[in-house]
Amino acid sequence: MTLVDILILSNGPGEVTTWVRPVVKALRQKFGDDRNQVRISVVLSPCSNASGKEAAIALSYPEVDRVQGAEHFWQFLLWGKTFENWDWRSRGVVVFLGGDQIFPVVIGKKLGYRTVVYAEWSARWHNWIDRFGVMKPEVAARVPQKYAHKFTVVGDLMVEASSHSSLVIGHLSLANDKGQMTNDIDASATSRSVGQITELIGLLPGSKAAKLAQGVPLGLAIAEYVHAKRPQTRFVIPVAPTLNLQTLASFADPQKNSIAETFSFGGASLIVPEDAKGKALLKTATGLTVELWQENPAYHLLSQCCICLTTVGANTAELGALGVPMIVLLPTQQLDAMRSWDGLPGLLANLPGVGTPFANVINWLFLRFVRRKGLLAWPNIWAQEEIVPELMGKLEPQEIGEMVLDLLAHPEKLADIRAKLRNIRGESGAAQKIAQIVGEEVEKQGE
């Protein structure tokens, strides 16, 4: 085989973990592990949701040979030179897995490489991109017929990502009311525990201070309310990789987070086990313990949850891809805290000196006009209807708790949500099909 470079273009934390990870695995399975023959590089572009750790995460994948962080992207886009002045082989393919679809067009031309774009919901630049791998047939159906030969339905990369997770849920230990331990959680999101069914509920308050300040005390207050009326419930927080336990716990402390009192939440303390194999916990004033799950990505864990309480953002996309029912929470008790919008609004709301005015204006406009559409969660945006409940406003833990209790008491409602979530996503096997497309494009360069 002629020496080949495969260049992956990506951006945010969600794309790096849910798209890049399964694709580079599939590429190595197809092309082999001889780096002298096929080299895989990752170049990241800026993203408003980036944590700053995306490059390190991508470099941790054993299939990847080299990574350039987002801070050097524009130099590469404009001049075709990486910060470390990488060499490039004469034969290669640019694979788009996040960012702006114009990027592979420009970079592919500069390097003289073929281009492959993975498109979930829309495909652009049909004339200049060589191949598209799309999630569902509807994406290909919207393009002019003369470009139809460039499109292949590959399925859903997020579904693929969850199947590649190496987590073993059998290691999750949840104490029941009698102090005994539950070690196995089955695929129906329940496990047997001393004559009763343990129901696992996930709390996803976000990863940034703007969301955590409200999301942590609200989520824990809801958990206390639900557990008091339904003792078989157990709660877990999948901790974002960018968040340490002490910072997370500070948002559960009313002395450090005054917003907690708004939700009548009495606080929680962090318990870190001496045994390295044990799980850290948040223990609330009522005695409820919530396990903190630090392994990432947490897809296998989330797939065992009967329901999750989550903020808006990428979490809703991941849960939707896993088919996990959710209630999406956007409390407005502190409007200025709502600085975590995606895209340009998020950037404006966080500008030094002018961020607060922009945040207030953006939030006011959103509350007054945009919210009327009722589509904040990604699954609802994809379906253009409210599949999962979205709750926005001055949220009260008791009201949300009652909604959770109603869903748990009526499993048919949760089953209906799961079915609808699975219906709007694509099939599995996307990574292998993308690798096949890349292989075909490599062969075309040799013609």
Instruction: Quick: pLDDT tens for 60-82.
Output: 999 999 999 999 999 999 998 99
Per-residue model confidence (pLDDT) at position 88: 95
Mean pLDDT of 231-240: 94
Confidence of residue 186 (pLDDT cuts 50, 70, 90): very low
- Say which residues have a Cβ less than 8 Å from residue 34's Cβ, sequence separation at least 6: none
Per-residue model confidence (pLDDT) at position 334: 62
Q: Domain segments of the chain: what residues?
A: 4-156+427-445, 167-424
Specify the CATH number for 4-156+427-445; select among 3.40.50.2000, 2.60.40.10, 3.30.1330.10, 3.90.1150.10.
3.40.50.2000
Cβ–Cβ under 8 Å, residues 38 and 6 = yes
Name the CATH topology of 167-424. Rossmann fold (3.40.50)
Mean pLDDT of 188-216: 73
Tell me the pLDDT tens digit for each residue of 213-222.
Answer: 999 999 999 9
Residue 109 clears pLDDT 90, i.e. is over it: yes
Residue 383 clears pLDDT 90, i.e. is over it: no
Q: CA-based Rg of the chain, rounded to a whole angstrom?
A: 23
Mean pLDDT of 379-392: 88
- Say which residues have a Cβ less than 8 Å from residue 219's Cβ, sequence separation at least 6: 203, 205, 237, 309, 329
Per-residue model confidence (pLDDT) at position 359: 56
Tell me the pLDDT tens digit for each residue of 275-327.
Answer: 767 789 999 999 999 999 988 778 778 989 999 999 988 788 889 888 899 99
